A and B are shown apart, each in its own frame.
Chain A
Amino acid sequence: MQTFQELWQLLTGPDGELRGIVYTTLRLCLTSTVLSAALGIPGGAALGLYRFPGRKFLVRICRTLMGLPPVLAGLAAFFLLSRSGPLGQYKLLYSVGAMVTAQIMLGVPIAAGLTQSVIASSAEAIRETAYGIGLRRCRLLGRTLHECRKSFVSIVCLTFGQCLSEVGAAQICGGNIAGKTRVMTTAIVLETNMGDFKMAGALGILLLLISFGIMALGAWGVRADE
Chain B
Amino acid sequence: MKKTLALLLSLLLAFSLFACGEKALDGDGLTEASTTEPVIIPENPVIRLSTTTSVNDSGLLPAIVPVFEAATGYTVEITSAGSGAAIEKGRTGDADLLLVHSKASEEEFLAEGWSPARIPFMYNYFVIVGPANDPAGVASATSASEALKKIAESSSTFISRGDDSGTHKAELKIWDTAGITPAGDWYVSAGQGMGAVLNMAAEQQAYTLTDKATYLAHEQKSQLAMLLEKNDELKNTYSLLAISPEKWPDTNIAGAQAFIEWITSAEGYKLIDEYGVNEYGEQLFFTMPAESLTVPVTSNTEPDAPTEEATTLPLAA
- Chain A positions within 8 Å of B, measured between CB atoms, are 26-27, 30-31, 33-35, 82-85, 88, 93-97, 149, 153, 175-180, 190, 192-197, 217, 221-222, 224-225
Contact = CB atoms under 8 A, between A and B. Distances in A.
Interface in B4-39: 4-5, 8, 12-13, 15-16, 19-20, 23, 26-27, 30
Contact of B27 (A35, A93, A153, A180): A180
B92 A84 contact: yes
Contact of A195 (B30, B93, B218): B218
7 contacts: A31-B19, A34-B13, A84-B94, A85-B92, A94-B94, A180-B77, A224-B4
Contacts of A176: 79-80
Nearest to A153: B5
A83 B8 contact: no
Contacts of B221: 195
Contacts of A217: 8
Provide the main secondary structure of the chain A interface. helix
B282 interface: no
Nearest to A79: B92
B220 A225 contact: no
B195 interface: yes
A94 B79 contact: yes
Given A176-B79, A221-B5, A82 B220 contact: no
Contacts of B198: 195
Could you say which of B19, B57, B202, B248 has the most chain A C-beta atoms within 10 Å of its C-beta?
Answer: B19
Given A192-B196, A221-B5, A96 B23 contact: yes
A98 to B, nearest CB: 10
A82 to B, nearest CB: 5
B265 interface: no
A85 to B, nearest CB: 8
B120 interface: no
A180 B16 contact: no
A178 B78 contact: yes
B219 A224 contact: no
A33 B42 CA distance: 36
Contacts of B62: 178
Contacts of B79: 94, 175-177
A30 B62 CA distance: 29
Contacts of B248: 83
Interface string B52-65: 01000100001000
Interface of B is mostly: helix
B71 interface: no
Contact of B57 (A27, A177, A193): A193
A27 B91 CA distance: 31
Interface of B: 1-2, 4-5, 8, 12-13, 15-16, 19-20, 23, 26-27, 30, 48, 53, 57, 62, 77-80, 91-94, 193-196, 198-199, 202, 217-221, 248, 250
Contact of B77 (A85, A149, A175): A175
Contacts of A178: 62, 78
Given A83-B92, A84-B94, A85-B92, 18 more contacts: A26-B15, A27-B16, A27-B19, A31-B19, A34-B12, A34-B13, A82-B92, A94-B79, A94-B94, A96-B23, A153-B5, A177-B79, A180-B26, A180-B77, A194-B217, A195-B219, A222-B5, A225-B4
B196 A30 contact: no
A94 B50 CA distance: 11
A175 B86 CA distance: 11
Contacts of A30: 12, 15-16, 19
A184 B27 CA distance: 19
Contacts of B219: 194-197
Contacts of B16: 27, 30-31, 34-35
A195 B57 contact: no
Contacts of B202: 195
Contacts of A83: 92-94, 248, 250
A222 to B, nearest CB: 8
Given A192-B199, A194-B218, A31 B20 contact: yes
Given A30-B15, A94-B48, A149 B2 contact: yes
Given A34-B12, A84-B93, A93-B94, A194 B20 contact: no
